[in-house]
Amino acid sequence: MRPETPARSEEALYFGEAFDPRELFGRVAPLEIEIGSGRARFLVAAARSNTTHDFLGLERSLSYYRVCRERVARCGLANTRVLRADGRLFAESLVPESVLAFHVYFPDPWPKKKQRKRRLLDAVTLELLASRLEPGGTMRIATDHPGYGRAIGSLLETVGALERLEWDALPPPPPSNYELKYQAEGRPIWRFLCVKRKT
C-alpha cells in the first residue's frame, strides 16, 4: 500500500502554532472540538443544530480528513471547520480554558498490550484536555472497547478538575457513524460525560 501523501499544504499536519479560533471562524463564539471526526456525521449534525457555537473537527488520518473536509464543505456551514491534526498535539496549542466542549467518540482502542501506549486518552492527555476546558465546559467520550472503557473510567477519576455526570444529565449529542453501526450490531457502548469544575 502506498503511503498517504499530502497534495496541498492544508493537508499537512497542524503542528506547533498557537491556535486562534477567531482567525479560522472569523468571529468569537463558544468553541466545541471533536477529536477524530472520521466521516463528519457528528460534526455536521451538531453544527446544524447549534449555529451559535463554532465546531472544529480534528482528523489525523489523511484519507478520513479528506472525506470529512469534503462533507463539511458540501454542507456549507459557516460554523464548522476541519483541520488535519493530532488531537494531543493540537490541544497543546490551545489557550487554557478556551474550549466549551471536547468530543471524543470511538478513538482507536489499540487493544494489544504493546499498543496501549499509542492510545489517545491517557492520564496526561485527559489532564491536558481538562486544562483547556472553560469552567463548566464538558467532555464527552464513547468507546465500544470494554478494556479501553474501563481504563478511561479509572483515569477520569484521577482528573481532579473534572466531575463525572450521568450521560443523560445533559442533552445527548448527535450519534457518530460508529455509534450507529455499533448500536445496530448490539455492542455495549461505554459513555462518559464530565464537566469542568468551577473554582
d(CA 198, CA 196): 6
d(CA 13, CA 155): 28
The count of C-alpha atoms lying within 13 angstroms of the C-alpha of 132, restricted to the half-sphere facing its C-beta, is 25
Residue 8 is placed in which grid cell?
496541498
Give catalytic status of residue 54 as yes or no: no
The kind and range of the H/E element at 72 are: helix 62-75
Q: Which amino acid is at 143?
A: T
Phi, psi (deg, nearest 5) at residue 145:
-95, 115
Catalytic residue among 20, 86, 108, 122: 108
CA distances from 52 to 25, 30, 46, 47, 189 (A): 12, 8, 11, 9, 30
Which active-site residues does the annotation give?
108
